[in-house]
Structure 1
Amino acid sequence: MSTATRPCPGAPTLYPDGLPRPGRALVMGIVNVTPDSFSDGGRWYAPERAVAHGLALLAEGADILDVGGESTRPGAARVPVEEELRRVLPVVRELAAAGATVSVDTMRAEVAARAVEAGARLVNDVSGGLADPAMLPLVARAGVPYVAMHWRGHSDGMQANAGYDDAAADVADELRLRVEAALHAGIAPDRLVLDPGLGFAKTPEHNWQLLGRLREVVALGYPVLVGAARKSFLGELLADPATGLPRPPHRRDAATSAVTVLAATQGAWCVRVHDVASTADAVRVTARWGREA
């Protein structure tokens, strides 16, 4: 893949493998084109609002925009492929035309293929190729970078699969299997990214174990994406001491920034967030500190 013909101001260089590498952790801004996101509750559901939101995230410092049309919050039901396409394609097309590096967040090969045709440069698959057997061959043919997340089932039943002997070791082992499957399908090793899947078939304790031992995932030898933004394990940690109620999602951004800094120090390639502005500051401070250390 080549550099965008109309790059946004300050956009990171795209290397021959198609992955931005600006010398710090990247910031992936979330553009949910769904009516039922746990975090923004459908605030950007209309295509024109989603596009405007994506452009605002770019202005705040996002390196990548991750556009998704299917909620993966715990308990969410799947949407028909036609509806996912209707939600995603106009937004991908407009943001790509504006020069953004766009990722499509989908588990379906058909959606990934159509989004790449519309200008998406990465495919972010929370199922790691398990939800749709056509996904890995499709990505191999398309030649785009691919994010394979650790996954143990769809949102409506995934928490029943949250059993681990050792969460960090088990996730690393299962991601290794996804790497083997991706390589076997023909995906180039320099276009593969891994995601430990925080919150997906994991308890809060599992999430903290994974973050504390993130280097074990980094040690697999591939760029690592961390998606902790506003997730419930942060809300539980920050619960109101008087009522015991979890802190609501829109008040978890400072905690997300703290996770960003710690993930970056452990070698994360990218963090996926809602609050781009503070995250962009956090990764730059972390990178500068790291150069001195």
Structure 2
Amino acid sequence: MRTPRSHRLVLTVIGAGTALACGALTGCSSGSSAVPSRHETAPATVPQDSTVRSAATPKGLVPGVDVSAYQPHVDWASVKAKGAKFAYVKATEGVKYKSSTFSSQYTGSRSAGLAHGAYHFATPNTASGVAQADYFVAHGGGGKADGHTLPGVLDIENNPYGKDKCYGMSHAKMNSWITAFLHEYRARTGRHAVINTFKDWWIACTGNAGAKSGSTFGATYPLWVNDHKASATGVPVPSAWKSYTVWQWTDKGTYGDEDYIKSSTVYKKLLA
């Protein structure tokens, strides 16, 4: 039985038996040389940067992290002390998996003074969008707007369990699935979910949904884009959006991926 995808820490190997993981909020640490199984790593087509990136937060951006069961022991006080303002925590995947570390990570990040939010890793070929949204809400993803809880996230990207990155779905079926999830989440929580993806996947698997004039994707749903090569002023986004809301800029953090929210104004709007 395959372990549900725990999401996305990848270490850059620098020598036999060692690895380097560096990030703005978590510093650098040596770790095991064991390579995560394929379905626990970043999708290979997320734009990657093999170098250690600058630890300085670009001016105006709000730093944070995202974690999962793959990072079971997070020193939240240290993450907070190094400047993080928020944490997103993996809650669920499909309709059969709830992260074993969700509760401790979700409450731990908040107890340390960070805003927190939950994300759901979508597997569109295993259950409907409505069913997965309901499962997410029932297992930690239903946080209300209270000034410190971020809206839930639909994480939809490469299929880690098969060769077809689009889960064997046509553009029309994928778009219907995504829309169903988003509408159900809105109906259950009163909030618009954030969409986490990356440009190439969105084009390949949705047909660049939302690119046409009048689309509600970009106008309604905040975008969290994964790109580990981009600069803060040049993050590629699908045509439906003018810009990103959240940017995952590296996967080399000790405690998980590191992210930026575009500005303090955007950050406050997400929490409202």
**TM-score normalised over the length of structure 2:** 0.51
Aligned to 1:84: 71
Instruction: State how far apart, in whole Å, the 1-side matches of 2:213 and 2:168 are.
Output: 19
Tell me how far 1:178 sits from its aligned partner. 1.5
Work out the number of aligned pairs and report it.
200
1:159 matched to 2:135? The reply is: no
Tell me how far 1:223 sits from its aligned partner. 2.8
Tell me how far 1:36 sits from its aligned partner. 4.1
2:140 alignment partner, SS class: helix
1:175 alignment partner, SS class: helix
Tell me how far 1:63 sits from its aligned partner. 1.7
CA displacement, residues 113-150 of structure 1 (integer Å, 9 cap, x when unaligned): 22221125122333389889864223356543211123
Do 1:105 and 1:124's aligned partners in 2 also have CA atoms closer than 8 Å?
yes
2:227 alignment partner, SS class: coil
1:193 maps to a residue whose letter is: A
Aligned to 2:9: 34
Change (3 A) 1:260 1:209: closer
1:119 matched to 2:100? The reply is: no
| More relative contact order, 1 or 2 (CA 8 Å, 6+ apart) | 2
2:72 alignment partner, SS class: helix
1:177-256 matched pairs, under 5 angstroms: 177-183=180-186, 186=188, 188-190=189-191, 192-195=192-195, 197-198=197-198, 202=201, 205-206=204-205, 209-210=208-209, 212=211, 216=215, 218=217, 222-230=220-228, 252-253=229-230
Instruction: State how far apart, in whole Å, the 1-side matches of 2:122 and 2:55 are.
Output: 29
Tell me how far 1:257 sits from its aligned partner. 1.6
Instruction: State how far apart, in whole Å, the 2-side matches of 1:57 and 1:124 are.
Output: 26
Instruction: State how far apart, in whole Å, the 2-side matches of 1:62 and 1:255 are.
Output: 9
Aligned match for 2:22, one of 18, 23, 44: 44
1:136 matched to 2:137? The reply is: yes
Do 1:65 and 1:101's aligned partners in 2 also have CA atoms closer than 8 Å?
yes
1:84 maps to a residue whose letter is: Q
Instruction: State how far apart, in whole Å, the 1-side matches of 2:141 and 2:199 are.
Output: 28
Change (3 A) 1:60 1:211: farther
Change (3 A) 1:111 1:183: farther
Instruction: State how far apart, in whole Å, the 1-side matches of 2:216 and 2:196 are.
Output: 7
CA displacement, residues 239-293 of structure 1 (integer Å, 9 cap, x when unaligned): xxxxxxxxxxxxx42699252596652x654343349xxx98xx78xx9xxxxxx
RMSD: 5.0
Change (3 A) 1:98 1:203: closer
Instruction: State how far apart, in whole Å, the 1-side matches of 2:248 and 2:214 are.
Output: 18
Aligned to 1:149: 155
1:139 maps to a residue whose letter is: G
1:273 matched to 2:249? The reply is: yes
Do 1:150 and 1:174's aligned partners in 2 also have CA atoms closer than 8 Å?
no
Do 2:217 and 2:240's aligned partners in 1 also have CA atoms closer than 8 Å?
no
Kindly indicate which of the two structures has a greater share of residues assigned to helix. Answer: 1
Kindly indicate which of the two structures has a greater share of residues assigned to strand. Answer: 2
1:149 maps to a residue whose letter is: D
Segments of 5+ residues of structure 2 without an aligned counterpart are: 1-6, 14-18, 30-51, 93-97, 111-115, 124-128, 252-258, 267-272
**TM-score normalised over the length of structure 1:** 0.48
Change (3 A) 1:229 1:116: same
Instruction: State how far apart, in whole Å, the 1-side matches of 2:248 and 2:181 are.
Output: 20
Aligned to 2:35: none
CA displacement, residues 160-218 of structure 1 (integer Å, 9 cap, x when unaligned): 5444433xx5443212222344356x4x223x323163379x48644773484597452
1:85 alignment partner, SS class: coil
Instruction: State how far apart, in whole Å, the 2-side matches of 1:196 and 1:216 are.
Output: 18
Do 1:33 and 1:44's aligned partners in 2 also have CA atoms closer than 8 Å?
no
